[in-house]
């Protein structure tokens, strides 16, 4: 009887310990797409939020109450902005119909800014929810909130004249401008030309962690943009503009360090992934030669900062032998790079015909999307730390999730 009692308590302890460990394994909240529908996962609980739609581009509000998303269609002819309210457990539109493909939440309040056929609008607030809208400015191509949540950096497209393309103008616009020219200031004019810096628009603005610099791409005409764009930075006062390097137009391919004015990006020209895609780190402002970390014979096709010293990349062997025919699949796996020592090591080992891509860091956790050749769906894997046990956190999803990370109060 005593032995049975001991066994019972041991089994109970093991079951309780395993349950506690399992529940502690994934302290995340994430929005994700499965079968074109919007889902949310909190801890281990998955909840479907939409039905019979074609959802993409989910984005969290600063406090996590709302998720903005685009309700589209398979042919790309529809692009309506919706908002899911987690408190009221419902989706709604902030206005009768908002057509946009580019929207961004304010960094410090539940307000959405979006462009609609070149008009920059912001939502108003009603009963604590984004509702209605106000015009901000006309002639807008790219934009981003300033870190203070009160202003925007805005770009307008260059104009083609008989003498060539005009420079690209940037503006600093107050969020409550309501089309008033008194609240719109010229910020910087990018002096483009067809030999050194060719571009007709600027977009994908990202602020450094201390708000002193903003990075963005200078984008040429469509045919050129498929092969090369210019990564650039501008100081927060609009006084110091610097060209960083050439890269493709993937906005996730350049990221600021979490705690320093260092910019990591995947440099290299050419639309095909088979060669010339190198992880590069530049100190901003540029004071010395930039450092490349991709070994010869390899290409990097995704990156994420793990800490101020470590970068995670999705790496594959290059394929210079390919010249024509179907573009070869690049089988990526994750590697860690210590940018101080230069040491690198492989982190993940996908199976045959599998690839690991889209690394993301949430606290101490590393996550990535693993899929098989020829498939668009895959699984999201998670590892606590760089040497922890990896496991599947999401199965059969359309892509990498969007994690909610609470903003740090200053």
Tens of pLDDT, residues 316-339: 999 999 999 999 999 999 999 999
Which of 176, 191, 206 is the endpoint of a domain? Answer: 191
**Which strands form 168-174's sheet, in the order they lie side by side?**
142-145, 151-155, 168-174, 184-190
* E strand or H helix that includes residue 2: helix 2-24
Same domain, 58 and 95: yes
Segments forming the whole domain that contains residue 144: 27-191
Report if residue 93 sits inside a domain: yes
Number of domains forming the structure of the chain: 2
Per-residue CA distances from 124 to 19, 35, 51, 135, 161 (Å): 45, 32, 27, 10, 38
- pLDDT beyond 50 at 142: yes
Greater confidence, 233 or 5? 233
Residue 42 is predicted with a pLDDT of: 95
Distance of CA 172 to the CA centre of its chain: 23
Which residue is associated with the tokens 């909840």? Answer: 47
d(CA 146, CA 235): 12
pLDDT in tens, 200-217: 999 999 999 999 999 999
Same domain, 386 and 399: yes
- pLDDT beyond 90 at 310: yes
Tokens, residue 230: 């210019």
Residues 6+ apart with CB under 8 A from 410: none
**Poorest-pLDDT segment among 13-17, 53-57, 155-159, 282-286:** 13-17
Residue 4 is predicted with a pLDDT of: 53
Same domain, 248 and 321: yes
d(CA 297, CA 76): 37
pLDDT in tens, 110-129: 999 999 999 999 999 999 99
Same domain, 154 and 219: no
Strand pairing category for 90-92 and 79-85:
antiparallel
Greater confidence, 24 or 161? 161
Distance of CA 189 to the CA centre of its chain: 26
- Of 273, 366, 373, the C-alpha closest to 311 is 366
Tokens, residue 398: 């359309």
Same domain, 103 and 224: no
- pLDDT beyond 80 at 12: no
Tokens, residue 44: 């281990």
Residue 406 is predicted with a pLDDT of: 85
Same domain, 255 and 358: yes
Cis peptide before 285 (omega within 30 of 0): yes
Phi, psi at 273, each rounded to 5°:
-85, 5
Which of 191, 207, 222 is the endpoint of a domain? Answer: 191
Same domain, 60 and 104: yes
Report if residue 271 sits inside a domain: yes
Contact 301, 315 (CB under 8 A): yes
Q: Band of the pLDDT at 188, cuts 50, 70, 90?
A: very high
Over the chain, what is the mean pLDDT? 93
pTM of this structure: 0.92
Q: Band of the pLDDT at 193, cuts 50, 70, 90?
A: confident
- pLDDT beyond 50 at 409: no
Q: Which residues pair with 303 in a beta bridge?
A: 313
Q: Which residues pair with 382 in a beta bridge?
A: 367, 391
Radius of gyration (Cα) for the chain, nearest Å?
23
Same domain, 235 and 248: yes
Helices (DSSP H) in 171-229: which residue ranges? Answer: 222-225
Q: Band of the pLDDT at 219, cuts 50, 70, 90?
A: very high
Which residue is associated with the tokens 């892509």? Answer: 399
Same domain, 107 and 54: yes
**Cβ atoms within 10 Å, residue 285:** 12
Same domain, 172 and 242: no
Residue 353 is predicted with a pLDDT of: 96
Report if residue 330 sits inside a domain: yes
Contact 311, 337 (CB under 8 A): yes
Same domain, 153 and 290: no
Residues 6+ apart with CB under 8 A from 32: 38, 39, 40, 41, 58, 380, 394, 397, 398, 399, 400, 401, 402
Residue 106 is predicted with a pLDDT of: 98
CATH number at residue 93: 2.140.10.30
Which of 191, 218, 237 is the endpoint of a domain? Answer: 191
Q: Determine the average pLDDT of the residues in 283-292.
A: 93
- pLDDT beyond 50 at 14: no
pLDDT in tens, 372-399: 999 999 999 999 999 999 999 999 999 9
Per-residue CA distances from 403 to 5, 73, 117, 330, 368 (Å): 44, 24, 29, 26, 12
Residue 2 is predicted with a pLDDT of: 55
Q: Where are the beta strands (DSSP E) in 110-235?
A: 112-116, 119-126, 129-137, 142-145, 151-155, 160-161, 164-165, 168-174, 184-190, 201-207, 213-219, 229-235
CATH number at residue 266: 2.120.10.30
Residues 6+ apart with CB under 8 A from 86: 40, 64, 65, 66, 67
- pLDDT beyond 80 at 23: no
Same domain, 206 and 308: yes
Per-residue CA distances from 366 to 149, 283, 300, 311 (Å): 29, 25, 17, 11
Contact 314, 370 (CB under 8 A): no
Residue 195 is predicted with a pLDDT of: 78
């Amino acid at each position: 009887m005593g032995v049975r009692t001991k066994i019972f308590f041991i089994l109970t302890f093991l079951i309780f310990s395993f349950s506690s460990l399992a529940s502690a394994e994934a302290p995340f909240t994430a929005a994700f797409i499965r079968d074109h529908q919007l889902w949310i996962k909190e801890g281990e609980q998955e909840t479907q939020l939409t039905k019979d739609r074609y959802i993409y581009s989910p984005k969290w509000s600063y406090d996590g109450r709302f998720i903005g998303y685009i309700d589209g269609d398979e042919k790309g002819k529809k692009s309506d902005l919706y908002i899911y309210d987690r408190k009221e457990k419902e989706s709604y539109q902030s206005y009768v119909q908002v057509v946009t493909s580019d929207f961004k939440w304010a960094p410090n309040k539940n307000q959405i800014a979006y462009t609609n056929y070149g008009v920059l609008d912001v939502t108003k607030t009603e009963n604590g929810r984004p509702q209605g809208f106000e015009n901000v400015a006309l002639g807008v191509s790219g934009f981003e909130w300033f870190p203070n949540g009160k202003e925007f950096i805005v770009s307008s497209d260059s104009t083609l004249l008989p003498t060539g393309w005009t420079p690209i103008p940037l503006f600093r616009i107050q969020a409550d401008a309501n089309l008033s020219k008194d609240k719109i200031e010229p910020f910087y004019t990018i002096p483009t030309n067809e030999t050194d810096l060719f571009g007709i628009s600027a977009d994908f603005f990202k602020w450094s962690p201390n708000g002193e610099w903003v990075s963005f791409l200078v984008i040429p005409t469509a045919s050129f943009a498929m092969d090369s764009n210019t990564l650039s930075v501008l100081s927060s006062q609009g006084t110091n503009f610097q060209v960083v390097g050439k890269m493709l137009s993937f906005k996730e391919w350049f990221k600021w360090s979490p705690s320093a004015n260092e910019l990591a990006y995947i440099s290299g020209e050419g639309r095909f992934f088979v060669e010339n895609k190198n992880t590069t780190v530049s100190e901003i402002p540029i004071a010395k030669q930039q450092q490349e970390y991709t070994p010869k014979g390899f290409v990097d096709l995704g990156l994420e900062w793990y800490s101020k010293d470590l970068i995670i990349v999705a790496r594959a062997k290059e394929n210079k032998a390919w010249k024509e025919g179907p573009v070869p699949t690049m089988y990526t796996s994750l590697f860690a790079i210590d940018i101080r020592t230069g040491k690198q090591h492989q982190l993940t080992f996908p199976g045959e015909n599998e690839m690991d891509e889209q690394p993301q860091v949430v606290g101490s956790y590393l996550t990535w999307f693993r899929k098989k050749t020829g498939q668009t769906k895959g699984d999201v894997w998670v590892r606590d730390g760089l040497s922890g046990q990896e496991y599947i956190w999401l199965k059969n999803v359309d892509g990498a999730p969007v994690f909610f990370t609470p903003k740090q109060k200053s």
